[in-house]
Structure 1
Amino acid sequence: MKILKFALVVFLTTTSILSAQNKQVTLEEIWGGTFRQEYLQALRSLNNGEEYVVQSYDRSAKAMNVDVFSYETGKKTRTLISSADIDELDFFQSYSLSENEEKAILGVDVESIFRRSSKGIFYVYDLKSKELIKISEDKIQEPTLSPSGKEVAYVFENNIYIKDLASAKVTQVTTDGVDNKIINGVTDWVYEEEFAFVQAYQWNKDGSKIAFLRFDETQVPEFSMDMYGTYGKQLYPKQEVFKYPKAGENNSKVSLHMYDVSKGQTAKVNLEKEYEYLPRIKWSNDANILTVQAMNRHQNNLDLIAVNASSKEAKVILTEKDEAYIDVTDNLTFLNDNSFIWTSEKNGWNHIYHYDRNGKLIDQVTDGQWEVTDYYGFDAKTGRIYFQSTENGSINRDVFSIRANGKNKAQLTQKRGTNSADFSADFTYFINSYTSATTPYEFTLHQAKNGKKVRDIKDNKKLLKQLEPYNFSKKEFSTISVNGNDLNMWMIKPSNFDPNKEYPLFMFQYSGPGSQSVSNSFFGTNDYWYQLLANEGYIIACVDGRGTGFKGAEFKKVTQNELGKYELEDQIDAAKQLGDRTYVDTNRIGIWGWSYGGFMSSNAILKGNDTFKMAIAVAPVTSWRFYDSIYTERYMTTPQENASGYDENSPINHVEKLKGSYLLVHGGGDDNVHVQNSMQMIEALIQANKQFDWAIYPDKNHGIYGGNTRLHLYTKMTNFIKENL
């Protein structure tokens, strides 16, 4: 009996250990935040370069603080701002410091407008006197202190205002702002979404001038969305109406203006010729010289224009041209002599260039068949430029420094994977964020001069320990030769993978121009979902085809005027090649994607109906005629010029080819890729008498989240995969 009992205990213990080592991940864990990584809070370097500030909430004191920390030790040195010291404020949501760090703008009751824009109640807080001044009783946008900190400019109801903090006098700079007609000082919807900025005004270096953009959207067509609200609380739908220029339609007419603060006068700046877009304005270190980046509608010609603030004379100092398109960046940096740093793909790869103040090339700073992926800045003391690049492989990132003449390049990060840097204001230190396929984020402090590690800041070893019982599969990186190109690929196999068995293959891709889905970085939320599917017996794979980024301009821009053509060819051919592998069931291949990826997966189930058995498309573009002008025309020109490019590659025109299982999902409040895309696709499928599954998430935007929404969506997709693949 004792022997039997002992055997039973051994059996139960062994079973328990095996069970613990193969714990199954659940959707509730994934979307409940169980595997959330630890990150650094957003920090801002102080001007002294030795300290940084972090905003945090002190629960015990019930106070919002902005605390100061030492870079070298990581220890808190003092509190810069605390709501506990401000009688008029119990709390603040946001803060920004003036250039001299003597004042701060504090935001409360801040609400989002679109992806990047917001409005709220804002105050100016004097860090020395502790005086608090409310800027306006109304909710305003983009408040910004002048260089002296004596005035604050802001936008209210599409007009620019300046408030003198000493006298409380408010000056209205513009008066013609009207909702859905005229905008001053902030961008319209399409600029915000596609040129990625909101504040469209800037103080010059001495605070004597403000340059700003004016948007006349009178001729831009309106788009409307019905918002249904919470059940039982809203009897009638609310209609949201905003200006949205679709491909080929009228854009806002954008003009540049300059306001003289002392004279109280505004003048329009004549740029000599008409430009469709003014995607950036930036004052140089000379308070009298403003630069403007100006583009044609095709976005394949960019002029950098210098404007004399006194004479209003405008002169083109640099021109970039490309057969396809030119990416707009924030990399323009002025040195002390007003020469400037510029990044360009003009030699086929994105690199750094140094020009004199008149636009004459001094040096090409970086060169090689790799890409500069981030520009961090220029240290005037050492003459060194800091940047991130793909020099060690397109799926990796490392941080480098180099002299402005292109000599003495130094690699500052050593761990293979994805490294990114946040430099102190004086370039003494940088905080490195590192991750790889096997390592969640690690944050370390380094000396900028040589990359030497000073100290560890934070890591996610606790998460790695937490993941051990799940026995997750490794993400395997490789390349696959498709249509003459070696394409980056990752694959996740079941943890109990048997090469002698056949498995269904489920492919993910995004595929949009310049994007990257195959990178040497740790799990994102979807990766845990892929592990769940792998545990259910699926192989998951992702291939970055032609049109994606970081492998040179030619590879990225081959899709010009034909969005969806070459990308789809690569996904179909990659699927066929993977299907030829002995362990893949060639009759059970599926594909999915979100947004551009949904456009692609929709095309795949139609044009690739002999390859793909099922597809899921979330928030897809179904015809580029429905999408916005700036993004779409950058890659396709206009529908009037390129009708065949639009129509031949739009899934809405190929619904009769549907043979497999298709799930279509969209958010009803998507202001970006409108639900119109899916509604038109649904109607086309119905009229073609094609059966499919679909779901609309009421009022949800392009991200389709909030409450249980993501859990519901991924449960639906998981069930669809199990039933149809």
Structure 2
Amino acid sequence: MKTKNLTRFLVLFLTATTILSAQQDITLNDIYGGAFRTEGLDALRSLKNGTEYSVLNYDRDAKASTIDVYNYKTGKKERTLLSSNDLPGIDYLISYEFSDDESKLLLATKLEQIYRRSSLGTYYVYDLKSKDLTLVSENQIQEPTFNKNGSKVAYGYNNNLYIKDLKSDATKQITFDGKKNSIINGITDWVYEEEFGFVRAFDWNNAGNKLAFIRFDETDVPRFSMDVYKETLYPDQQVFKYPKAGDPNAKVSLHIYDVTSEKTSNIGLSDYNSYYIPRIQWTKQDNILSAQLTNRYQNTVDLIFVDAETNTSKLVLQEKDDAYVDITDNLTFLNDNSFIWTSEKDGWNHIYLYDKTGKLQNQVTKGDWEVTNYYGFDQKTGRIYYQSTENGSINRDVYSVLSSGKNKARLTQNTGSNSGAFSADYTYFINTFSSADTPYKFSLHNALNGKEIREIASNDALVTKLKNYNMSPKEFSTITVNGNELNMYMIKPKNFDPNKSYPLFMYQYSGPGSQNVANRWNGANDYWHQMLAQEGYVIACVDGRGTGLKGRDFKKMTQKELGKYEVEDQIAAAKKLGALPFIDANRIGIWGWSYGGFMASNCLFQGADTFSMAIAVAPVTSWRFYDTIYTERYMTTPQENATGYDNNSPISHVEKLEGDFLLVHGSADDNVHVQNTMRLVEALVQADKQFDWAIYPDKNHGIYGGNTRLHLFKKLTNFVYDTLGESQPVMTETKK
């Protein structure tokens, strides 16, 4: 009997060993060569009939872009609206938009990126009935937008606004003072685009006869210049207006152009907190424009209504916070001009309903959890659709609730990250689901009860493929440090032995309202962490104080002290993890990008007794170097809060550096300027501290393009192996 059991054990052991040895190691070529790419859904547009949606496809056989219409319920392709093969001079389409009545399509081709969200492009209007194709402009233009009846298109060009009449084919210029680095009409400046998250600063009213727009006077905004090296003998310079903390911003003003009278009205805003105009939006009434205004501190938001007939305005709602008020796109007007608004005023982000005068009707959602996305309101059923963290702060689910706050329904059942894309009439929604161990799945659901109707797409092929790799589970937990219970995940080597001692490599971002510890599918960094885990490293990520989705007070407690409490939490977490029997407390590293690079630098410098190495990619090194809107929202100005800026700057702590430090930046980073790294480098040199660093020429904040990402992560990997490892091989892998 003992002999049989021993034989059985040996067979099982050898089988398991064979399976384990047959598994592939993850490589950088796999990660950045697309081996783990997920299948997704192309951007779709729900048609007004509520039963169909359209998708931009590419027919490889015909070598043509097509816009195809599908049936929600069956998934069957119903028809093709157009093919680029039928459009002379157009090889492919990048994106498309319908006119409000779905009679025309606005087609985008040949886009040229400007900054993160902005681009120049060649655009056409295609009439679905007549099959006529109209070039909007011979020039590369910005943000072309139909009016409501599809008879006109407004767009920006060379800092001015234009309107093309599609019936007469005539184009009218409506502003004339636009000038580069001086005046911008209807298109946001750099800092608005980056920090308020929008580019199109104009909006048509419902009647399509008035165009509201924001004008930016950048005259007093300081210029920033970057050398662009390319391959020429002499570098070029990119010069643009970039207001750093404490410096002048663009002066903004609000205007309404009347198409009929061809006159522009200036709207007086001096009675309100109008230093910034982060949103404009027409209400359901043709002549009533809403504008969200805020002061420089961004701790007061005024919602005003402007009567375009009389050019008068009134305050409808005012939101205040001791720290700051987030600007969102959740403002929704109902048929009677009552509106939906989201707010953190009870300590958590929730949905509120107001009447058309700004009187509170009721708080729609309540509880110690956050509304993370607002999807819309069904006027027929009175139901509001939204996403929230009610099932745990690392998870997301889709819900519906009556505007009264009653009859709430959870519409998604799988634990992880769920989002919803709703049909125009709220009959259906497409659920995108993923978790830490399940790649993206797409399914169609009944919006009333959440019942699944059909599966649209999944990544089962990727799941099968990953079974051949040495993948370790992402273990979620919490860790209590500095009196707070913080979300954490850990990745251990596949053959983890609790009796061994492993180096610890921590990853974080830590910026205000951010979240890294989330139950969702892998990104490229996750695969890199898996690669390091297979080589014998324990990976950990902790979301400290100041991060999001755990209430207003948790998020905003870092106010005026960015980098203080977040650093304390990462150091304390590292100490606690270092005390675990399977962690080598002498080999603890940390890394991050952008805000995470700021943090990694501070943690190494201020936590010299805890961290032995750090990698900082594209870091802010002093908030004095960063832009006004982001920085002052959390820090006020450096003139008012000098100690908050300087005491928490890595530059102020260079003399404490004892471990190994790698600093990386792109020379053409328009967001976090390479100036940040240069100033830190100089401080380290003058403090006689040795470190490693790399500059990637002409690369922006993302540091990508061609072979760049692969080269970058070989460098990061080698640095990890050299500083935290014992005898790991240096990466010599070449691009396949």
TM-score (norm. length: structure 2): 0.96
Mind listing any 5+ residue stretches in structure 2 that lack a counterpart?
1-10, 725-736
Residue of structure 2 equivalent to 1:184: 185
Alpha-carbon contact 2:205-2:286 (below 8 Å) kept = yes
Alpha-carbon contact 1:341-1:355 (below 8 Å) kept = yes
Residue of structure 1 equivalent to 2:495: 496
Task: Measure, in 2, the Cα distance between the counterparts of 1:592 and 1:277.
Answer: 35
Deviation at 1:15, TM superposition (A): 9.5
SS of the equivalent of 1:655 reads: helix
Residue of structure 1 equivalent to 2:216: 215
Task: Measure, in 1, the Cα distance between the counterparts of 2:403 and 2:337.
Answer: 14
Residue of structure 2 equivalent to 1:271: 269
Alpha-carbon contact 1:216-1:252 (below 8 Å) kept = yes
Residue 262 in structure 1 maps to residue 263 in structure 2? no
SS of the equivalent of 1:469 reads: coil
Query: After TM superposition, which residue ranges in structure 1, 4 or more long, deviate above 6 angstroms?
Result: 10-13
SS of the equivalent of 2:566 reads: helix
SS of the equivalent of 1:654 reads: helix
Mind listing any 5+ residue stretches in structure 1 that lack a counterpart?
1-9
RMSD: 1.3
Residue 323 in structure 1 maps to residue 325 in structure 2? no
Alpha-carbon contact 1:86-1:130 (below 8 Å) kept = no
Alpha-carbon contact 2:26-2:470 (below 8 Å) kept = no
Residue of structure 1 equivalent to 2:483: 484
SS of the equivalent of 2:676 reads: helix
Tell me the alpha carbon deviations over residues 421-473 of structure 1, each in whole angstroms, 9 at most, x when there is no partner: 10001000000001111111111100000000000011111111101122311
- The residue type equivalent to 1:340 in the other structure is F
Task: Measure, in 2, the Cα distance between the counterparts of 1:527 and 1:255.
Answer: 44
Alpha-carbon contact 1:105-1:125 (below 8 Å) kept = yes
Alignment partner of 1:237 out of 212, 235, 238 = 235
- The residue type equivalent to 2:383 in the other structure is R
Residue of structure 2 equivalent to 1:6: none
- The residue type equivalent to 2:247 in the other structure is E
Deviation at 1:654, TM superposition (A): 1.0
Task: Measure, in 2, the Cα distance between the counterparts of 1:16 and 1:76.
Answer: 48
Residue of structure 2 equivalent to 1:561: 560
Tell me the alpha carbon deviations over residues 596-619 of structure 1, each in whole angstroms, 9 at most, x when there is no partner: 000000000101111100000000
Task: Measure, in 1, the Cα distance between the counterparts of 2:245 and 2:539.
Answer: 35
Tell me the alpha carbon deviations over residues 252-277 of structure 1, each in whole angstroms, 9 at most, x when there is no partner: 00000000100000010012436210
Residue of structure 1 equivalent to 2:728: none
After superposition, the Cα gap between the structure-2 partners of 1:516 and 1:12, relative to the gap in structure 1 and judged at 3 Å, is closer
Residue of structure 1 equivalent to 2:734: none
- The residue type equivalent to 2:567 in the other structure is L
Task: Measure, in 2, the Cα distance between the counterparts of 1:224 and 1:27.
Answer: 34
Tell me the alpha carbon deviations over residues 462-501 of structure 1, each in whole angstroms, 9 at most, x when there is no partner: 1111011223111100000111111000000111111111
Between 1:674-683 and 1:10-19, the stretch displaced more is 10-19
- The residue type equivalent to 2:79 in the other structure is R
Residue of structure 1 equivalent to 2:453: 454
Residue of structure 2 equivalent to 1:426: 425
- The residue type equivalent to 1:202 in the other structure is D
Residue 649 in structure 1 maps to residue 648 in structure 2? yes
Residue of structure 1 equivalent to 2:729: none
Residue of structure 2 equivalent to 1:203: 204
Alpha-carbon contact 1:160-1:172 (below 8 Å) kept = yes
SS of the equivalent of 2:548 reads: coil
SS of the equivalent of 1:377 reads: strand
Tell me the alpha carbon deviations over residues 135-193 of structure 1, each in whole angstroms, 9 at most, x when there is no partner: 11111111111111111111110000111112222211100000000000100000000
Which residues of 2 match residues 614-693 of structure 1 at below 5 A? Answer: 614-693=613-692
Which residues of 2 match residues 268-667 of structure 1 at below 5 A? Answer: 268-273=266-271, 275-667=274-666
- The residue type equivalent to 1:170 in the other structure is T
SS of the equivalent of 2:172 reads: strand
Alpha-carbon contact 2:651-2:680 (below 8 Å) kept = yes
Which residues of 2 match residues 5-16 of structure 1 at below 5 A? Answer: none
Deviation at 1:89, TM superposition (A): 2.8
Alpha-carbon contact 1:481-1:487 (below 8 Å) kept = yes
SS of the equivalent of 2:367 reads: coil
- The residue type equivalent to 1:404 in the other structure is S
Task: Measure, in 2, the Cα distance between the counterparts of 1:18 and 1:59.
Answer: 38
Residue of structure 2 equivalent to 1:153: 154
Task: Measure, in 2, the Cα distance between the counterparts of 1:391 and 1:309.
Answer: 41
SS of the equivalent of 2:192 reads: helix
SS of the equivalent of 1:471 reads: coil
Residue of structure 2 equivalent to 1:115: 116
Task: Measure, in 2, the Cα distance between the counterparts of 1:500 and 1:452.
Answer: 47
- The residue type equivalent to 1:87 in the other structure is P
Task: Measure, in 2, the Cα distance between the counterparts of 1:87 and 1:677.
Answer: 48
Alpha-carbon contact 1:290-1:307 (below 8 Å) kept = yes
After superposition, the Cα gap between the structure-2 partners of 1:11 and 1:495, relative to the gap in structure 1 and judged at 3 Å, is closer
Deviation at 1:84, TM superposition (A): 2.0
Alpha-carbon contact 1:20-1:469 (below 8 Å) kept = no
- The residue type equivalent to 1:301 in the other structure is T
Residue of structure 2 equivalent to 1:75: 76
- The residue type equivalent to 2:219 in the other structure is T
Tell me the alpha carbon deviations over residues 313-354 of structure 1, each in whole angstroms, 9 at most, x when there is no partner: 110100000000010000000001100000000000000000
Tell me the alpha carbon deviations over residues 349-383 of structure 1, each in whole angstroms, 9 at most, x when there is no partner: 00000000010000100000000000000000100
Alpha-carbon contact 1:21-1:471 (below 8 Å) kept = no
Between 1:166-175 and 1:219-228, the stretch displaced more is 166-175
Task: Measure, in 2, the Cα distance between the counterparts of 1:114 and 1:493.
Answer: 38
Alignment partner of 1:247 out of 245, 248, 254 = 245
Residue of structure 2 equivalent to 1:5: none
Alpha-carbon contact 2:470-2:534 (below 8 Å) kept = no
Residue of structure 1 equivalent to 2:4: none
After superposition, the Cα gap between the structure-2 partners of 1:411 and 1:643, relative to the gap in structure 1 and judged at 3 Å, is same
- The residue type equivalent to 2:162 in the other structure is Y
Residue of structure 1 equivalent to 2:101: 100
Deviation at 1:88, TM superposition (A): 4.2
Deviation at 1:16, TM superposition (A): 8.7
Task: Measure, in 2, the Cα distance between the counterparts of 1:526 and 1:624.
Answer: 26
SS of the equivalent of 1:478 reads: strand
Tell me the alpha carbon deviations over residues 630-659 of structure 1, each in whole angstroms, 9 at most, x when there is no partner: 000000000000000000000011111100
TM-score (norm. length: structure 1): 0.97
Deviation at 1:91, TM superposition (A): 2.8
Alpha-carbon contact 2:373-2:386 (below 8 Å) kept = yes
SS of the equivalent of 1:714 reads: helix
After superposition, the Cα gap between the structure-2 partners of 1:12 and 1:307, relative to the gap in structure 1 and judged at 3 Å, is closer
After superposition, the Cα gap between the structure-2 partners of 1:586 and 1:383, relative to the gap in structure 1 and judged at 3 Å, is same
Deviation at 1:21, TM superposition (A): 3.9
Alpha-carbon contact 1:588-1:612 (below 8 Å) kept = yes
Task: Measure, in 1, the Cα distance between the counterparts of 2:12 and 2:211.
Answer: 78
Between 1:182-191 and 1:117-126, the stretch displaced more is 117-126
SS of the equivalent of 1:533 reads: helix
- The residue type equivalent to 1:677 in the other structure is N
Residue 65 in structure 1 maps to residue 63 in structure 2? no
